[in-house]
């Protein structure tokens, strides 16, 4: 999933108080799972803004709504279109994709982001999410026991660990980040495939990554 | 390794291929454009070492470029080993700098991943890591031996121009103290396969672990394919030893060394004694071709160390 964290309250409030009536729009997919911008978080943030507005004497009306996915046109139905028409601005609690797609759907409304989008990650335990994929456009994990060195090594090293691997952890964040190369080594050892790690991995073609420019997927067979 | 044909015009290569025990030292460029700092440090090292290793923004702190400082070292009569890290430059910038460095007289390049920018003075910067240190070795070998850029194009100005490739002696680093330990010799093997001619190790305090690593290196026959320069950093205080142990990931300082420094009346002198003993020990380990002295910001102490360790005079 795409993971995100809610922005600090004051940053969001600064945007909200510029308008009389604001729609707080949640997203029911990734940001719901990582508890940053789903229906529940919309409710909490809306209450916080109302409370702060009352205390500070600001006049802000907050509308609440959550759609299944902010990154997909089919979920922008009549109900949301009607609600959007009634407000001065939208605060999207969707990821960076959702917030931009909202702007595209409602070209005459200003859309503010309420979350900081982080990474493609997994829920490793309740309340902990960890990065797994960098979206490099050409998956190479098969050569590394299913562990991605591009996303999970701090230096994206493809040929083994640097000197900063210590007791299984990465020196860049020894508290939270496991050394990808320790994981790769352990996994390949378990699989009896350590010899494969002796191959020198050639220079990676980054043109499929963001380095090749913003990317578009076109599936002619799927187009209507 | 009795190569009669030199791969580069490097003096370090000549010393190593002649079978002499090589001595190199680190020269850290200044955190300014102050040329005198380099000239002064060069003065401490001239005639004391076979080559000086010029660091490339080490610990991710901005300093004068290794190539710039290398040119000054060369003017001062020293042979530079230019460090190139993968942190700050992509394959275009690195190849371009290698051509420039060669044109300016550099004959040795040491390929490194580079310290993560988190540890330096620009922690908010973006890093590059277009390639890793092993791929960098491979790219330099391709430039030198196959006379092509990483993209496959020949190293010539026009189709009719002559090929003028950078003929450099290619170095890489090895850290026998990082984890996972069994992979450390494998990683060296990959560096050798990629084309490394010489290796500088992380500074050694845990001699037992270094010996174990060298056993693995010899078991793979790597010591016959690459020249290994063992890293030495003389300890100057108990505080420094504890810092190296606690703050530098992948570095171990055994308790007995810290105890020795603790007991000593003059920790700096004791640190030098330890370094001298280490050099004697390292010379006896089969497969160690030389030492690389990293006297961090204490280049002036290298001459005395080399003298006392019996490393002088250096070959002409």
CB B1 within 8 A of CB B227: yes
| pLDDT digits 0-9 by tens, B270-285 | 999 999 999 999 999 9
Residue B146, chain A, CB below 8 Å: the answer is no
> Which of chain A's residues have a Cβ under 8 Å away from the Cβ of B180?
161, 165, 181-182, 185-186
Say whether both A45 and A10 belong to one domain.
yes
Question: Does the beta-carbon distance from B189 to A198 stay under 8 Å?
Answer: yes
pLDDT at B3 over 60: no
DSSP B163: B
How far CA B171 is from CA of A13, A103, B87, in Å, comes to 55, 52, 17
Share of chain A above pLDDT 70, in %: 100
**What is the CATH number for A9?**
3.40.50.2300
Say whether both A71 and A111 belong to one domain.
yes
Residue B130 in domain: yes
Domain boundary among A118, A143, A172: A118
Say whether both A22 and A104 belong to one domain.
yes
Quote the CA–CA distance of B202 and B229 in Å, as a whole number. Answer: 10
Tell me the backbone φ, ψ of residue A196, rounded to 5 degrees: -65, -25
Q: For residue A106, what are the domain limits? A: 2-118
How many angstroms separate the CA of residue A30 from the nearest CA in chain B?
27
Domain count, chain A: 2
Say whether both A74 and A15 belong to one domain.
yes
Question: Does the beta-carbon distance from A166 to B175 stay under 8 Å?
Answer: no
Say whether both A139 and A75 belong to one domain.
no
| pLDDT digits 0-9 by tens, A37-47 | 999 999 999 99
pLDDT at B152 over 80: yes
Cβ-Cβ contacts under 8 Å for B110 (sequence gap 6 or more): B53, B81, B82, B83, B84, B171, B172, B173, B200
pLDDT at B74 over 90: yes
| pLDDT digits 0-9 by tens, A175-216 | 999 999 999 999 999 999 999 999 999 999 999 999 999 999
pLDDT given at position B248:
82
How many angstroms separate the CA of residue B138 from the nearest CA in chain A?
8
Question: Does the beta-carbon distance from B250 to A201 stay under 8 Å?
Answer: no
> Which of chain A's residues have a Cβ under 8 Å away from the Cβ of B133?
157, 159, 162
Residue B243, chain A, CB below 8 Å: the answer is no
Residue B253 in domain: yes
Share of chain A above pLDDT 90, in %: 99
How many angstroms separate the CA of residue A214 from the nearest CA in chain B?
18
Q: Which of B87, B131, B186 sits opposite A198 (nearest CB)?
A: B186
CB B10 within 8 A of CB B282: no
> Which of chain A's residues have a Cβ under 8 Å away from the Cβ of B129?
155-157
pLDDT at B219 over 70: yes
pLDDT given at position A160:
97
ipTM: 0.94
Q: Where are the alpha helices (DSSP H) in B146-266?
A: 181-194, 207-219, 238-247, 255-263
Average pLDDT on B295-307 reads: 93
pLDDT at B308 over 70: yes
Interface residues of A toward B, Cβ cutoff 8 Å, are 154-168, 171-172, 174, 179, 181-182, 185-186, 194, 197-198, 200-204, 206
- Decide: residue A128, CB within 10 A, 0-12 exposed, 13-18 middle, 19+ buried: exposed
Say whether both A51 and A159 belong to one domain.
no
Say whether both A44 and A148 belong to one domain.
no
Quote the CA–CA distance of A35 and A48 in Å, as a whole number. Answer: 16
Q: Which of A171, A201, A206 sits opposite B249 (nearest CB)?
A: A171
Question: What is the pTM (predicted TM-score) of this model?
Answer: 0.95
| pLDDT digits 0-9 by tens, B180-217 | 999 999 999 999 999 999 999 999 999 999 999 999 99
Question: Does the beta-carbon distance from B179 to A154 stay under 8 Å?
Answer: no
Domain count, chain B: 1
Say whether both A160 and A105 belong to one domain.
no
Residue B162 in domain: yes
Say whether both A109 and A140 belong to one domain.
no
Average pLDDT on A66-90 reads: 97
DSSP E strand stretches across A7-155: 21-27, 61-67, 89-92, 110-113, 115-125, 128-133
Average pLDDT on B61-84 reads: 98
Residue A222 in domain: no
Indicate if the alpha-carbon torsion angle B59, A163, B288, B231 is positive or negative.
positive
Question: Does the beta-carbon distance from A163 to B173 stay under 8 Å?
Answer: yes
Quote the CA–CA distance of B67 and B94 in Å, as a whole number. Answer: 11
Domain boundary among A93, A118, A143: A118
In a mutagenesis test of the A interface, which of B175, B231, B249, B253 is the best target, namely the one with the most A β-carbons within 10 Å? B249
A167: closest chain B residue by CA: B179
Say whether both A110 and A148 belong to one domain.
no
Average confidence score pLDDT of chain A: 97
How many angstroms separate the CA of residue B70 from the nearest CA in chain A?
25
> Which of chain A's residues have a Cβ under 8 Å away from the Cβ of B173?
163
Q: Which of A163, A186, A194 sits opposite B250 (nearest CB)?
A: A163
Q: For residue B80, what are the domain limits? A: 11-308
Say whether both A81 and A152 belong to one domain.
no
What part of B 120-139 touches A (C-beta under 8 Å)?
127, 129-135, 138-139
Say whether both A110 and A154 belong to one domain.
no
In a mutagenesis test of the A interface, which of B213, B250, B252, B294 is the best target, namely the one with the most A β-carbons within 10 Å? B250
Average pLDDT on A36-60 reads: 98
pLDDT given at position B2:
46
pLDDT given at position B4:
55
Q: Which of A160, A166, A201 sits opposite B187 (nearest CB)?
A: A160
Residue A185 in domain: yes
Residue B178, chain A, CB below 8 Å: the answer is yes
Q: Which of A182, A200, A203 sits opposite B180 (nearest CB)?
A: A182
Residue B143, chain A, CB below 8 Å: the answer is no
What's the pLDDT band for B266 if we cut at 50, 70, 90?
A: very high
**What is the CATH number for B38?**
3.20.20.220
Average pLDDT on B251-269 reads: 95
Residue B314 in domain: no
Q: For A88-117, b where at least 16 C-beta lie within 10 A, e where not — what string?
A: ebbbbbbbbbbbbbbeebbeeeebbbbbeb
Residue B292, chain A, CB below 8 Å: the answer is no
A199: closest chain B residue by CA: B190
Residue B315 in domain: no
Quote the CA–CA distance of B256 and B271 in Å, as a whole number. Answer: 12
Residue A126 in domain: no
pLDDT at B249 over 80: no
């Amino acid at each position: 999933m795409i993971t995100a964290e809610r922005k600090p309250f004051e940053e969001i409030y600064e945007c909200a108080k510029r308008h009389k009536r604001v729609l707080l729009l949640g997203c029911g997919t990734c940001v719901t799972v990582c508890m940053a911008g789903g229906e529940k978080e919309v409710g909490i943030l809306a209450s916080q803004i109302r409370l702060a507005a009352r205390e500070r004497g600001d006049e802000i009306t907050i509308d609440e709504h959550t759609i299944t996915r902010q990154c997909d046109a089919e979920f922008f139905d009549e109900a949301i279109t009607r609600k959007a028409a009634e407000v001065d601005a939208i605060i999207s609690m969707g990821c960076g994709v959702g917030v931009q797609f909202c702007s595209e759907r409602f070209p005459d409304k200003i859309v503010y982001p309420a979350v900081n989008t982080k990474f493609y990650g997994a829920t490793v335990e309740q309340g902990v999410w960890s990065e797994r994929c960098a979206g490099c456009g050409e998956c190479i994990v098969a050569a590394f026991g299913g562990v991605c060195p591009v996303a999970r090594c701090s230096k994206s090293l493809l040929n083994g660990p640097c000197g900063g691997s210590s007791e299984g952890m990465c020196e860049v964040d020894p508290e939270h980040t496991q050394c990808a190369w320790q994981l790769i080594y352990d996994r390949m050892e378990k699989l009896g495939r350590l010899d494969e790690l002796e191959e020198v991995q050639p220079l990676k073609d980054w043109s499929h990554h963001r380095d090749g420019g913003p990317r578009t997927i076109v599936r002619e067979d799927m187009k209507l | 390794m009795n190569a009669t044909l030199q791969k580069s015009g490097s003096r370090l290569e000549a010393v190593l291929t002649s079978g002499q025990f090589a001595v190199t030292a680190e020269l850290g460029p200044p955190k300014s454009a102050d040329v005198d700092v380099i000239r002064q440090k060069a003065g401490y090292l001239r005639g004391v070492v076979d080559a000086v290793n010029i660091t490339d923004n080490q610990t991710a702190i901005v300093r004068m470029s290794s190539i710039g400082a290398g040119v000054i070292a060369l003017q001062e009569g020293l042979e530079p080993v230019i460090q190139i890290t993968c942190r700050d430059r992509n394959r275009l910038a690195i190849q371009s700098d290698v051509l420039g460095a060669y044109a300016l007289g550099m004959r040795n390049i040491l390929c490194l991943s580079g310290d993560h920018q988190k540890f330096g003075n620009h922690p908010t910067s973006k890093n590059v890591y277009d390639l890793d240190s092993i791929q960098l070795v491979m790219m330099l070998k391709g430039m030198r031996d196959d006379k092509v850029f990483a993209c496959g194009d020949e190293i010539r100005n026009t189709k009719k121009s002559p090929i003028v490739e950078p003929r450099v002696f290619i170095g890489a680093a090895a850290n026998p103290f990082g984890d996972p330990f069994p992979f450390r010799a494998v990683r060296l093997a990959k560096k050798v396969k990629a084309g490394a001619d010489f290796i500088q190790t992380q500074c050694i305090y845990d001699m037992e672990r270094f010996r174990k690593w060298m056993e693995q290196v010899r078991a793979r026959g790597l010591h016959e394919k690459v020249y290994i320069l063992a890293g030495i950093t003389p300890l100057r205080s108990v505080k420094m030893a504890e810092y190296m142990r606690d703050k530098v990931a992948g570095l171990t300082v055994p308790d007995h060394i810290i105890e020795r420094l603790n007991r000593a009346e003059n920790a700096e002198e004791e640190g030098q004694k330890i370094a001298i003993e280490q050099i004697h020990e390292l010379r006896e380990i089969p497969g160690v071709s030389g030492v690389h002295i990293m006297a961090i910001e204490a280049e002036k102490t290298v001459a005395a160390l080399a003298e006392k360790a019996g490393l002088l005079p250096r070959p002409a």
